[in-house]
Chains A and B, each alone.
Chain A
């Protein structure tokens, strides 16, 4: 049984560009949450998707958007990238309160 998978593993972009990150949840999980983890900090909640709708959103600008597909997989889109968007982006899937994380996508913005 595969756990949470994310792609790509690493990504390098320049300021102003747009990026799409992908996540496949653990089998049996219907909820996907996205977190941003800057170096030396704990993860910060971006938003959560359930039943293809954004159920809750953290304190992130509208440049951050997402989508959930009927098979529960999800995408995170970031527009107009800033240097400060460089971070590890984590996807977590859940069926109840426990959230299980993927390996993350390391985004570097130059």
Chain B
């Protein structure tokens, strides 16, 4: 059972469209991280959010941490084929050293 629920599980869109991936939990996290993973490779850290209500932008990617620090979203504007990959959210609870991961959202951007 995943502590973090991600939705949707799969997302296939045309180049230039926008997309949003959601990450929800009933638990409070002291920090939440988003990773992107290519097939057969390790996850690559995209961003870390730590403050409730925080919004971070990384070029065409916008990350938001919920006010209660239980949920987060990743929004991609004008998606490109290079954005294709598995997007994983991972949370760290206070007094906990491990990351708890969601099952991931597989994003496919068609040219």
Chain A interface (Cβ < 8 Å from any Cβ of B): 4, 6, 31, 33, 35, 40-45, 48, 50, 55-56, 58, 88, 90, 92, 97-104, 106
Contacts and interface: CB of A to CB of B under 8 A. Distances in A.
A89 B50 CA distance: 27
Given A41-B103, A42-B102, A42-B103, A98 B97 contact: no
Nearest to B44: A101
A4 B42 contact: yes
A92 B42 CA distance: 9
A55 B44 CA distance: 24
B65 to A, nearest CB: 14
A98 B56 CA distance: 16
A102 B42 contact: yes
Nearest to B3: A42
A110 B51 CA distance: 46
10 contacts: A33-B99, A42-B2, A45-B98, A50-B97, A97-B31, A98-B45, A98-B48, A99-B99, A103-B42, A104-B42
B42 A101 contact: yes
B98 A56 contact: yes
Contacts of A33: 97-99
A33 to B, nearest CB: 7
B88 interface: yes
Nearest to B42: A101
Contact of B43 (A6, A31, A43, A58): A43
State the 10 A-B residue pairs at the shortest beta-carbon distance, nearest first: A42-B101, A101-B42, A45-B98, A56-B97, A103-B42, A101-B43, A104-B42, A42-B103, A43-B101, A48-B97
B97 A106 contact: no
Contacts of B50: 97
Contacts of B97: 31, 33, 48, 50, 55-56
